[in-house]
C-alpha cells in the first residue's frame, strides 16, 4: 500500500472500545530511522511482518505520505536488530463506527496507561461518527506519534 494517509487521532476516555471491538491483535514495532518527520518502521502484527516508510506530516499533522510493504516474519525479526532504542508494544482494537473503523491502541511497557484512537479518512474534511469512548483530539500533537513515544515514553511525561 502506498499513498497519502489522512487520519485524525484522539485520546480515549474509557475502555468501552474493548467490548465494541470486532477484532484485535498485538503489535510490536521499532524504528530504523525517525528523524525530521520521516520514519522507516518495522512492525510485527501477530505473525506478519511489515516495513513502512512515512514522510513528514502535512496539514497540521492530518496527512502524510505512507508506503507499506508486507515482509516475512523472519525479515521483520532481523530488521529489529537495526532499530533505534525503544520498542513500541501495543494491542490494536478495531471498532466500527458508521462507515469508518477506529483503530484503538492500548500501549504497554513504558507507555502503559496510554490509549489512542485513530480514524483514517479519504479527505481532510470528511465527516465521521465518533464513538462515545472518544475524548479530546490530539491530531498533530507529536507527543502522541509512536516514533516520539519510543524516545519520550508516556511514563516520563510530567503533565498528562
- pTM, 2 dp: 0.92
145 is catalytic: no
Nearest to 20 by CA among 78, 104, 95: 95
Backbone angles phi, psi at 55, to 5 degrees: -85, -175
Distance CA 27, CA 149 (A): 15
- Between 59 and 152, whose confidence is greater? 152
Please compute the mean of the pLDDT values over residues 136-157 and round it to a whole number.
94
pLDDT tens digits for 116-129? 999 999 999 999 99
Burial of 133 (0-12, 13-18, 19+ CB in 10 A): buried
- Out of 17, 25, 31, 144, the active site residue is 31
Provide CB contacts within 8 A for 138, sequence distance 6+: 9, 10, 11, 116, 144
Do residues 51 and 42 lie in contact, with contact meaning Cβ atoms separated by under 8 Å? yes
pLDDT tens digits for 60-75? 788 999 999 999 999 9
Amino acid at each position: 500500500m502506498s499513498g497519502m494517509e489522512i487520519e485524525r487521532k484522539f485520546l480515549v476516555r474509557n475502555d468501552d472500545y474493548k467490548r465494541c471491538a470486532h477484532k484485535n491483535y498485538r503489535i510490536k514495532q521499532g524504528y530504523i530511522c525517525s528523524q525530521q518527520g520521516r520514519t522507516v518502521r518495522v512492525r510485527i502484527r501477530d505473525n506478519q511482518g511489515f516495513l513502512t516508510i512515512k514522510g513528514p506530516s502535512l496539514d497540521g499533522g492530518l496527512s502524510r505520505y505512507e508506503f507499506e510493504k508486507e515482509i516475512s516474519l523472519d525479515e521483520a525479526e532481523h530488521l529489529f536488530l537495526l532499530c533505534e532504542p525503544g520498542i513500541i508494544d501495543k494491542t490494536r482494537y478495531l471498532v466500527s463506527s458508521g462507515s469508518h473503523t477506529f483503530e484503538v491502541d492500548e500501549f504497554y511497557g513504558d507507555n502503559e496507561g496510554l490509549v489512542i484512537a485513530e480514524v483514517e479518512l479519504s479527505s481532510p474534511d470528511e465527516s465521521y461518527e465518533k464513538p462515545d469512548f472518544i475524548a479530546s483530539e490530539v491530531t498533530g500533537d507529536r507527543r502522541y506519534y509512536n516514533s516520539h513515544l519510543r524516545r519520550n515514553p508516556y511514563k516520563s511525561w510530567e503533565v498528562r
